[in-house]
Amino acid sequence: MTAVLAPSAPSPIVDIPGLVRDLRRTFDSGRTRSLAWRDAQLARLDTLLEERKDTLLQALTSDLGKSRFEGWIAELGFLQKEIAHTRSHLKRWTRPEKVRAPLAVQPGRAYVVREPLGVVLVIAPWNYPLNLALGPLIAALAAGNCVVVKPSEVAPATSAAMAELLPKYLDVEAVAVVQGAVPETTALLEQKFDHILYTGNGAVGRIVMAAAAKHLTPVTLELGGKSPTLVDASADLEVAARRIAFGKFFNAGQTCIAPDYVLVDRKVEDRLLDALKRVLCDFYGEDPKRDMAGVFERIAPFEWRLVIPFTQSGARLDVFELTPVAEQPKE
């Protein structure tokens, strides 16, 4: 079995401004603009994922209890497919696009030319700590940018693996990893970036957006949401139950687009509930706490503190009925 890399110390905060300046110097040199450089970085990242697969999968198991299969299908395999797709389309995506010139500038010609932005910050979450750190990195490298990757401190083994491995495979003057928690992230957000990508909760998303606004930095915020599942009377309830259960419990439910609630035709409500009970037993056994020990222990300490009050108070989630708009009382 491959040894898990020990968690690393946080990156020195005093070094962060200089690190960002060095990345900007690299970008200003023009090195990252060529398609050859971009393609080479993507190829090297793919090589990292292939050659160091065991190290990365073991880190995911250490942090989140993910099996090798789940780690591959949801993280490494997903990333390798994304790299292959990006490399195969890169020339077409970056080709100047001819557009019609307005009458005022004719007989001139007009084109849309897609340019790299500069230095990009990626702040990743803990639930898919590899996928949601390296996925944005793939996009940023393909676009010809320099990148700072800030992994989640809640997945320390995966964070340490990225900090150890990325400099061995990628251009160290164009890609950097900053480890740490709130102080290090705060120090990063004080710097001027040309784009920030953040995946996580709305509270931190507001902090990221406020920090970016000081520099007029554009942001991409992926904050999850409440995803409904609709089941009408004509649905195949066995298929619906299996799909709902798979989507809800994959990655122990820690997926931003997992089904949060079900809107079901009352005529088939009981049958759907029965089907869901059967499917959950098929998936996880008659006693999931015993049969799937360790698989669902993925609530990070901070999130666990949010859940504890509900379990101690005996709170429960009940099935409720939506009143059609036409039947709602008028005020």
Catalytically active residues are 222, 256
Q: Write out the H or E segment, with its range, that includes residue 270.
A: helix 269-284
CB 167 within 8 A of CB 177: yes
Residue 173 near residue 193 (C-beta atoms within 8 A): no
Report DSSP letters for 302-324, one per residue.
HHHHHHHHHHHTT-------PPP
Nearest to 147 by CA among 180, 165, 171: 171
Per-residue tokens: 186: 């705060």
State the DSSP H helix or E strand holding residue 38, giving kind and residue range, or none if neither: helix 35-51
* 261 vs 239: CA distance, rounded Å: 17
Question: Could you please report the per-residue DSSP string of 230-265?
Answer: EE-TTS-HHHHHHHHHHHHHGGGG--TTSEEEEEE-
User: CB 297: neighbour CB atoms within 10 A?
Assistant: 11
| Cβ contacts of 290 within 8 Å, gap of 6 or more | none
- Residue 253: count of CB within 10 angstroms of its CB: 15
How many helices (H) and strands (E) would you count in the chain?
A: 13, 9
CA 65 vs CA 23, 157, 251, 297, 300: distances in Å: 35, 12, 10, 7, 12
